[in-house]
Structure 1
Amino acid sequence: MAATHEIVASYRNPAAVIARLLGQGTREDRNLIYLMVACLIFFVAQTPRLARESFIDGTELNMLLGASLMAWLFVAPLMLYGLAGVTFVILKILRGNPTGYATRLALFWALLASSPVLLLHGLTAGFVGPGIELQIVGLIWFCIFSWFWISGLRVAYRQSK
C-alpha cells in the first residue's frame, strides 16, 4: 500500500498500520525515507512562519530558510535516531525485547503520519501568528503524534514477547 494510504489509515488505527509495516520485513532504507520525508515536510511547514518573521523583523528570508533547512535535514535526523535509541534502551529496561528497527519505525512513522497536522500548524503560524489558535493546533499535533508513537511502541513491545 502506498505511504499516503497508510498515513490516512493511521488516523483510524495506527497500531494496525505499524503491524502491517513491521510485517513487511526489516527495511532500514524505508525507515530512512520515512524520516527524511518527515523532516522535509517539517521544513516546509516552517516556511510560512519564517516568511512572517522575515517580514516583521526585516531579516533576510534566505538566511532563515537556510538555517531551518540545515536543522531539519541534517541535524534533526541525527537527534531523532538518538531518541529512537534511547527509546529502545527504555523498552529493554521495561523487560521488552523489541528490535531497534521496530522502535525506529514507530518513531519515524509517527512523525511522517502526523506531518499533515504540522503543515496546518505552519500555516497557522504564518497567517495567524502567535496566539491561542497556534497553541491549540500545536497541542492537536502533539496529541496525534503521541498517539501514533505510543501505538507503534506498543505493537513493537507486543511483538517482542
Structure 2
Amino acid sequence: MPVTRDIVATYRGPRRVVRRLLDVGPREDRALVILVAACGMTFIAQWPRLAREAHLTGQELNPLLGGTLLAWVFIAPLIFYTLALLSHGLARVLRGRGTGYGARLALFWALLAASPIILLHGLVAGFIGPGPGLQIVGLIWLGIFGWFWIAGWIEAEWGRR
C-alpha cells in the first residue's frame, strides 16, 4: 500500500497499520527510510519559521537552514533510535513480547504519520508566528503523535504473534 494511504489509514486505526507493517517482516532498511522521511518532513516544516525568523532579525537564511538540517537529518535519527531502545526496554520490564525492530517501527511510523500536522505547525509558525494558534497546533501534533506511538508500541510489544 502506498505510504500516503497508510498515513491516512493511521488516522483511522494506528494499530492496524503498524500490524500490517510488522507482518511484512523485520526490514531494517524500511524502518530507516521511514525515519529519514519523517525527519526530512520535519526539516521541511521548519522552513517557513526559519524564513520568518531570518526576515524579522535580519539574519542570513542559509546558516539557519544548515543548522536545522544538521539537527533533523543527522542528529535526530540517533536520538530517535535511542528513544526506541528505551521504549523497548520499558516494554521488556512490563513483560512485552515484542522486538527492538517493532519498537523502532512504531516510533518511526508515528513520526511519519503525524508529519501532515507538523507541516501545518510549520506553516502557522511561519505565517502567523508565536501565539495561541501555534500552541494549539503544537498540542494537536503532540496528541496525535502520542496516540500513534502508544497504539503502535502496544501492537508491536503485546499484539498478536
Which TM bucket (shorter chain)? over 0.9
Is residue 86 from structure 1 mapped to residue 121 from structure 2 by the alignment? Answer: no
SS at match of 2:67: helix
| Unaligned residue ranges in structure 2 (runs of 5+) | none
- The aligned residue for residue 3 of structure 2 is 3
- The aligned residue for residue 49 of structure 1 is 49
1:16-61 Cα distance to aligned partner (Å, 9 max, x none): 0001111111111000000000000000000000000000011110
| Unaligned residue ranges in structure 1 (runs of 5+) | none
Structure 1 residue runs of 4 or more that deviate by more than 2 Å after TM superposition: none
> Contact conserved, 1:50 with 1:126, CA < 8 A, in 2?
yes
Aligned pair count reads: 161
- The aligned residue for residue 141 of structure 1 is 141
Letter in 2 for 1:47: W
How high is the TM-score relative to the length of structure 1?
A: 0.98
- The aligned residue for residue 16 of structure 2 is 16
- The aligned residue for residue 38 of structure 2 is 38
How high is the TM-score relative to the length of structure 2?
A: 0.98
- The aligned residue for residue 68 of structure 2 is 68
The CA distance in 1 between the partners of 2:81 and 2:157, in whole Å, is 18
SS at match of 1:11: helix
1:127-154 Cα distance to aligned partner (Å, 9 max, x none): 0000000000000000000000000011
The CA distance in 2 between the partners of 1:151 and 1:85, in whole Å, is 17
SS at match of 1:120: helix
Letter in 1 for 2:133: E
1:72-110 Cα distance to aligned partner (Å, 9 max, x none): 000000010000011111111111121000000000000
Letter in 1 for 2:47: T
SS at match of 2:46: helix
Deviation at 1:159, TM superposition (A): 3.1
Is residue 95 from structure 1 mapped to residue 65 from structure 2 by the alignment? Answer: no
